Amino acid sequence: MALIELRDINKTYDNGQPLHVLKGINLDIERGEFVSIMGASGSGKSTLLNILGILDNYDTGTYHLAGKLIKDLSEGKAAEYRNRMIGFIFQSFNLIGFKTAVENVELPLFYQGVPRKKRHEMAMEYLGKLGLTDWARHFPNEMSGGQKQRVAIARALITKPEIILADEPTGALDSKTSVEVMQLLKQLNKEEGITIIVVTHESGVANETDKIIHIKDGIIGEIEENASHSAWTGSMMK
């Protein structure tokens, strides 16, 4: 069984008039893959990401993550699965402003009930891996965008999740930093074997991944094997 197995996922939003956003999504993602989901805004890619991240429910179909059926979970159970199986990287970093870098990285372990000292050590270790040891005591607003995103990556990694979900991870970064962040994700995938799913609308970003899944009008279109990273010529950024 694949790490992620989506079968005929349907999702309809009902705000006054029903809006059928996902129209039968079938998708398998294997352990250790580095894929991107590409689509224009309104294509349903954010909704798909939310369902993958157990942030939202779907109406019909099945979603198995690491062999577990993810359906109609209680809020507490959903929180626990998110905590243990999923690492999030967001476009706007989503660090807590009044917490230092190390405190932000510690937070997922806090919700696992890991003792204070242990979790501090682990957080420092991950910050070290990402070259942020000197910034551990700094608050997010004292750091550059690239540094903030690396803190967020450290926070996503610290629970050793099954998958990393990155929602437009370079969207708020300049092109040089974007390249660095994508290189970092690539490196994590290659060296640590972490499954990474990047949601983006930038083809340059998608080109850095090994497989590009195109989504359009709520259904999966073309799935492009991109091991050679040659789907798009030219520079990474438009």
Site residues (vs another protein, CB under 8 A): 50, 53, 55-56, 75-76, 79-80, 82-84, 88, 90, 92, 94-99, 107-108, 110-112, 116, 155, 159
Please name which of 118, 145, 120 lies closest in space to residue 133, comparing C-alpha atoms.
120
User: Using CA atoms, how far apart are residues 20 and 183, in angstroms rounded to an integer?
Assistant: 36
Q: Which is nearer to another protein, 111 or 232 (CB)?
A: 111
Closest separation in Å from C-beta 178 to another protein: 20
Are residues 41 and 201 in contact, defined by beta-carbon separation less than 8 angstroms? yes
Q: How many residues does the chain have?
A: 238
- The 3-state DSSP class for residue 10 equals strand
Q: Which is nearer to another protein, 107 or 231 (CB)?
A: 107
Q: Which is nearer to another protein, 94 or 177 (CB)?
A: 94
Closest separation in Å from C-beta 84 to another protein: 7
Q: Which is nearer to another protein, 139 or 232 (CB)?
A: 139
Closest separation in Å from C-beta 86 to another protein: 9
Q: How many Cβ atoms from other residues are within 10 Å of residue 68's Cβ?
A: 12
Closest separation in Å from C-beta 170 to another protein: 17
- The 3-state DSSP class for residue 166 equals strand
